[in-house]
Amino acid sequence: MTKAERAAHVATRLEELYPETPIPLDHTDVYTLLIAVLLSAQCTDERVNKITPALFAIASTPQTMAKVPVGTIRDIIKPCGLSPRKSVAISELSKILVEKYNGAVPDDMEALESLPGVGHKTASVVMSQAFGVPAFPVDTHIHRLAQRWKLTNGKNVVQTEKDLKRAFPKESWNKLHLQIIFYGREYCSARGCDGTTCPLCRELFPDRKRAVKTRK
């Protein structure tokens, strides 16, 4: 198969497997989604979903979160890891949203990336899932699978994002990035597949004998 044929096959199979793509992080609005995505850095969605109810019970808006002591936030989110840095970011970005954006999360990539603790991936998730703007957030699952499926050279996540945006139609990005994540978790995990065993890896590369080493 050519790269274009592989991309088309991937899109077709993932649509069959995951016609519905619910956002895996529990949230009630754009702000709580932003906080949940920020917390998910180096933490599983499952763990984030166990922690956010307690956090949002004391503050679920920028206005209320800005008044919560950083230490209180840190104690609640501690199981997520990186709690000192994340708690400060949550407090500071909440204050900025109140002071600069009247308590609203901006629907602009550059503005989002300027917020404390909000990198390109987090901003991309918010833009795609909250505002419907085409984006292709690349997490570890997507970076790994794109390499196993030879849709990127795996140089880095920035290159992977560029390659995937070229490989798939723009209107499919928001749904497809979630479909790839779902597939990676269920069939093609870091330990569960080495590029030769899961259904899609076998379909795309039936003659592949050697494991694919994922480049970071």
Name the H helices within 27-156.
30-39, 45-58, 62-65, 70-77, 83-101, 109-113, 120-129, 140-148
> From residue 179, how far is each of 58, 88, 114, 211 by CA, in Å?
33, 32, 28, 23
Give the torsion through C-alpha atoms of 13, 168, 185, 105, to 10 deg. -130
Spatial separation of the C-alpha atoms in residues 155 and 69, rounded to whole Å:
41
Do residues 25 and 33 make contact, with C-beta atoms less than 8 angstroms apart?
yes
Q: Which residues are part of the catalytic machinery?
A: 121, 139
The vertex-24 CA angle with 216 and 130, nearest 5°, equals 95
